[in-house]
């Protein structure tokens, strides 16, 4: 593992979100981004390969903040804000507190993108949110 990779840290929730099996963007990039010899079979990436790919991709990700709105049986999303790469550290360090302060009592979805590519998403019920009539 690169010394640089092992010294950087993000909160465990964020690392798991990006590298877990629920959202395979990082794993796929690590798996198919490596050079293989002719005839060599594809294999699952190692933890080191995943770490390396995470640190290659995460710093370039931007964030979209969306509010979930339910009307009858239909769920839609209203965009509340977007953050460029490197401008959302407070969100990463304390998502509940940041979202409550900036957006209030809502059900919020955070989407991470690398350029136009969707990477992963996570939902938060912020500041005691109970249901859609609770706005």
Query: How many domains are contained in the chain?
Result: 2
Give the Cα-Cα-Cα angle 58, 60, 65 (nearest 5 degrees).
80
Residues 34 and 24 in one domain: yes
Mean pLDDT of the chain: 88
Residues 44 and 7 in one domain: yes
**How do residues 19-58 score in pLDDT, each as one tens digit?**
998 999 999 999 887 777 788 777 889 999 999 999 999 9
Four-point Cα dihedral 87, 88, 89, 90, nearest 10: 120
Residue ending a domain, among 38, 59, 80, is 59
What global pTM score does this model have? 0.84
Residues 53 and 101 in one domain: no
Residues 18 and 50 in one domain: yes
**More confident position, 83 or 41:** 83
Residues 65 and 55 in one domain: no
Residue ending a domain, among 20, 38, 59, is 59
Q: 40 lies in which domain range?
A: 3-59
């Amino acid at each position: 593992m690169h010394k640089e990779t092992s010294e950087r840290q993000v909160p465990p929730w964020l690392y798991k979100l990006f590298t877990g099996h629920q959202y395979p963007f990082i794993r796929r990039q690590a798996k198919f981004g490596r050079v293989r010899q002719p005839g060599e079979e594809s294999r699952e990436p190692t933890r080191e390969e995943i770490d390396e790919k995470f640190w290659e991709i995460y710093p370039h990700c931007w964030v979209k903040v969306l509010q979930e709105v339910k009307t009858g049986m239909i769920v839609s999303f209203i965009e509340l804000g977007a953050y460029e790469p490197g401008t959302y550290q407070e969100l990463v360090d304390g998502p509940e507190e940041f979202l409550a302060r900036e957006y209030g009592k809502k059900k919020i979805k955070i989407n991470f993108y690398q350029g136009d590519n969707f990477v992963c998403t996570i939902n938060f019920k912020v500041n005691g949110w109970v249901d859609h009539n609770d706005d």
